[in-house]
Amino acid sequence: MTFSKTTKMTLASVAFAAFVAAQATPPADTRKFKNDQEQTEAIAANTEKNPTARIEKLDKWKADFPESDYGEARTGLYFSTYGELKKYSEQIQSAQELRKKLPNNLQLIQTIFQDYAQIKTPSQADMAAVTDVANLIINHPDDVFSNSNKPQGVTDPQWAETMKLKDPTIAYAKAQLDKVAEQQGPDAVIARLKADPTRVELNQWLGAQILKDAKDHPEKQSDAIFHYARAASYTGPGCLDPKARAQTRSFVDRAYNQYHGSMEGEDKLLAAAANQPLPDGYVIKSNVDVAKEKNAAEEADRAANPMLAAWKDTKGILTGDGGQAKFDSDIKDSELPKFTGKIVSMTPALRPKTVVVAVEKDGVADCTLTFTAALPGKMETGESLTFTGVAKSFTKDPYMLTLEVDKDKLEGWTGKNAPVRPPAKTTKKGS
């Protein structure tokens, strides 16, 4: 979060004197030093110019007089001195101590935000402090950005400018909670997304973390793709801008196709990710899993229908590389296993000598049966025939296998020739 020059002046880091003024101390100051020693140590600390030496003197004052009427003022001096020394963690903790009396003080809150941004490896106490003030800004912004919270010494025009920062500060506070969650790890990020599903940049962070470990945990790639799909498909509050969503969608397309083996089902993934922040059991099947399922289904089909399996095996040989050569050397003029197909057409329509059937798929002709002698009568299309025939020829595209079939190796033919009727008797005239 950045501030204008005016705002920086208005929200300057709180010095000791500014803090004391902000407390609105009653006119009748009843504070007292416990004795001359405390007064001497307090003056020594307050007048010390060197900040490192000042901390040493403050520590002595605090050690000798842990309970003091000037405890808050002493904490204020610690706060300003740590700022001079750029000891950010220590200043954050001093700010939190001061906030026990001034919980909504915007200067203290801003300092905590600014200090936290400077810490490369924050402690648990640092993270707790920034989480505390971020939640205050998010959940109770009007307690902070209100006229009743205007510090002494800040003019009305300056405070009016500060009030304009409410929405940007809320956005910044949410980003700080995201940052804390990332620093704490995946479990904290997941908890953050459950608390606020609009933080889709955290989905991208989770996706990236999972992909870093993809070699060791390939089974988790499904979750990674889901998180990127969430960022690409979510369009509600907090969504990525259109350009970023488009770029993320391109990545999802590539990753999904590579992982799943095709684009089938990606639309369902995107729809699910748009409506839920976490996978919650949503699994994208890997190309390995898809292949295993396909093989298992094929094996089940083969076991359930070995006749059709034999047909597909033969077709696979003939339509593959070198199919014609294999047909000529190994299959032509050989009797093939028994097959079943449904009638597609007959030539001629009555007493046919050629019957075209569909073996693999209903209605799709793929086998031609030829007979030396015509079959009796006719049958309807769609009726089933079982046959054993000798391979004579085939075409690869569209696939058609031609078999020569003996009548005695055809099962299911029910056609009959019409019975021959004797000629009608004629009656001679005059008989």
Q: Quick one: pLDDT at residue 425? A: 67
Distance separating alpha carbons of residues 32 and 70, to the nearest angstrom: 8
Q: Quick one: pLDDT at residue 5? A: 33
Distance separating alpha carbons of residues 216 and 233, to the nearest angstrom: 28
Q: Which residues contact 247 (CB under 8 A, 6 or more apart)?
A: none
Sort strands 400-411 and 367-370 into parallel, antiparallel or unpaired. parallel
Distance separating alpha carbons of residues 152 and 20, to the nearest angstrom: 10
Per-residue pLDDT of the chain (431 residues; tens, 9 = 90+): 443 333 332 333 333 444 444 444 445 678 999 999 999 999 999 999 999 999 999 999 999 999 999 999 999 999 999 999 999 999 999 999 999 999 999 999 999 999 999 999 999 999 999 999 999 999 999 999 999 998 888 899 999 999 999 999 999 999 999 999 999 999 999 999 999 999 999 999 999 999 998 778 888 899 999 999 999 999 999 999 999 999 999 999 999 999 999 999 999 999 999 999 999 999 999 988 888 888 888 888 888 899 999 999 999 999 999 999 999 999 999 999 999 999 999 999 999 999 999 999 999 999 999 999 999 999 999 999 999 999 999 999 999 999 999 999 999 999 988 776 777 666 555 54
Q: Quick one: pLDDT at residue 20? A: 44
Torsion (CA) 229, 230, 232, 235 in degrees, nearest 10: 150
- For the record, the structure tokens of 136 come out as 């205050």
Q: Quick one: pLDDT at residue 153? A: 86
How do the domains of the chain map onto residue ranges? Answer: 5-31+70-184, 191-288, 334-411
Please state whether the peptide bond connecting residue 157 to the residue before it is cis, i.e. omega within 30 degrees of 0: no
pTM of the model: 0.69
Best CA proximity match to 207, nearest among 272, 244, 262, 251: 251
Q: Which CATH superfamily is domain 334-411 in?
A: Nucleic acid-binding proteins (2.40.50.140)
Distance separating alpha carbons of residues 164 and 158, to the nearest angstrom: 10
Please state whether the peptide bond connecting residue 398 to the residue before it is cis, i.e. omega within 30 degrees of 0: yes
